[in-house]
Chains A and B, each alone.
Chain A
């Protein structure tokens, strides 16, 4: 089955990004396809490479970046939600005249159309949030 995933709550504050990670890992192991994960609302904060959690805690961003590297999962961060919350890739940082970018490996910033497209193309869309 082709499964699309939406994450709509922020890392560490909320369980959503952790549970979604376990779900996606299990789904792929069971032979399902997870072509894309879409990050919305505070979920976009998963994508910052500048988070430094204590060493004895899981690193949520690195979990996801590792998954993208291993399985080619398309990790898409909503541009409108990202810009409000200070998540920028190199292009956006230049375009907005900012002095830094912070998007982690494996993530890309794109539009909400990618969420709708995922809903159209996947057999199921599973939301992790409140």
Chain B
């Protein structure tokens, strides 16, 4: 039996207003040290976590959105974003940060970490996991 499990972190809430998004990211960063097969899902208001141009000076909290761009260095390279959730909020992929990783199996070629999936495909992603942590 393989001792690597498939972990999915489901992000459903806006980046600010509550602490769920930040504390989810903290779990992802700590969890990276355990060398599991990690994916992130962004749906509902969670898609706002990946938008570019976030400025938080006015609300006095830290802008943690740049941390998403470092996830590739932690070998977290699968960020599934639900297409319907984007559309329902008037967002497109162009509104999201560019998040890249270097593919060690493909001569370190730079590839996008964000994968836009339909609601039905997201269900398949979830069904495929061993451990789902929802924030």
The residues of A with any CB-CB pair to B shorter than 8 Å are: 6, 8, 40-41, 80-81, 84, 111-113, 115-117, 119-120, 125, 127, 129
Residues from chain A with Cβ under 8 Å of B36 in the complex? 116, 120
CB distance from B133 to the nearest CB of A (A): 7
Residues from chain B with Cβ under 8 Å of A8 in the complex? 135
B31 on the interface (CB 8 Å rule)?
Answer: yes
Are B23 and A41 in contact (CB-based, < 8 A)? yes
Residues from chain A with Cβ under 8 Å of B131 in the complex? 119-120, 125
| Complex-state Cα separation, A84 to B22, whole angstroms | 13
Are B23 and A111 in contact (CB-based, < 8 A)? no
CB distance from B3 to the nearest CB of A (A): 7
Interface 1/0s, chain B 1-25, versus A by CB < 8 A?
A: 0010101000000000001100100
| Complex-state Cα separation, A125 to B5, whole angstroms | 12
Residues from chain A with Cβ under 8 Å of B92 in the complex? none
**Interface size range of chain B in the complex:** 10 to 19
Which secondary structure dominates chain A's binding surface? helix
Residues from chain B with Cβ under 8 Å of A84 in the complex? 19
Residues from chain A with Cβ under 8 Å of B130 in the complex? 119
Are B19 and A41 in contact (CB-based, < 8 A)? yes
Residues from chain A with Cβ under 8 Å of B123 in the complex? none
| Complex-state Cα separation, A113 to B86, whole angstroms | 32
Given contacts A113-B30, A119-B131, 4 further A-B contacts (CB under 8 A): A116-B34, A119-B7, A120-B3, A120-B34
Are A120 and B26 in contact (CB-based, < 8 A)? no
Among residues of B, the one whose C-beta sits closest to the C-beta of A124 is B131
Among A80, A81, A113, A119, residue most surrounded by chain B Cβ atoms (within 10 Å)? A119
CB distance from B1 to the nearest CB of A (A): 12
Are B34 and A111 in contact (CB-based, < 8 A)? no
Partner of A41, one of B5, B20, B31, B132: B20
Partner of B23, one of A40, A113, A117, A127: A40
Are A116 and B31 in contact (CB-based, < 8 A)? yes
Are B133 and A125 in contact (CB-based, < 8 A)? yes
Residues from chain B with Cβ under 8 Å of A116 in the complex? 7, 27, 30-31, 34, 36
| Complex-state Cα separation, A81 to B23, whole angstroms | 8
A-B contact pairs, 16 of them (CB 8 A): A8-B135, A40-B23, A41-B20, A41-B23, A80-B23, A84-B19, A112-B27, A112-B31, A113-B34, A115-B27, A115-B133, A116-B30, A117-B34, A119-B5, A127-B134, A129-B134
